[in-house]
Chain A
Amino acid sequence: SQQGEEDPQALSIQEGENATMNCSYKTSINNLQWYRQNSGRGLVHLILIRSNEREKHSGRLRVTLDTSKKSSSLLITASRAADTASYFCFQETSGSRLTFGEGTQLTVNP
């Protein structure tokens, strides 16, 4: 299975600080996606970066992709308490089983 691995498993920061989460994967991808999951809820699609892109922005989110290292990072700037959630990366590959990693649990303290 094409399971990504998020790092760190847990991250606790103060409101206003930046949060950085990393994702590593094993094979070639079509694109990589980041999702957020609030406790007890479904996943919300945050941002998609294609294999030929290196960086993408969406509001306070910045995603980078390094295909040579098979890794991606998600940066949340000026974090808010409402950003507290689990964050998952997800890779789309051609013809492979699609699986999420264990996620990073982000806690933003007010």
Chain B
Amino acid sequence: QVQLVQSGAEVRNPGASVTVSCKAFGYAFTGHYMHWVRQAPGQGLEWMGIIKPSGDWTSYAQKFQGRVTMTMDTSTNTHYMELTSLNFEDTAVYFCARDVSDSTSSWWLDPWGQGTLVTVSS
């Protein structure tokens, strides 16, 4: 069964950093790109970035450039997303989601992790 299991909720002060993990089960880990998506309270989904399964290529949304780093560890089948210089507006649920595509014009995300709530509070 393909499954993504994320790390637990985190609370950080403004200016701090947070790392969320996403452990993959049930599929060839290096066979799929991984996306990270976040959702602020009461808001829509926001795409943050993508990492290639080899770990040697990433693409980040312009909004997060310079603050986000996505990495992976093939020995533990785990992806990581680090967000630095946190501010109150970074309070959100962060999801990892496996990329699937037909390699031409269609991409979809399946499955998703259960989400990790990151709260930025002083």
Pairing of A with B? no
A residues in contact (CB < 8 Å) with B: none
B residues in contact (CB < 8 Å) with A: none
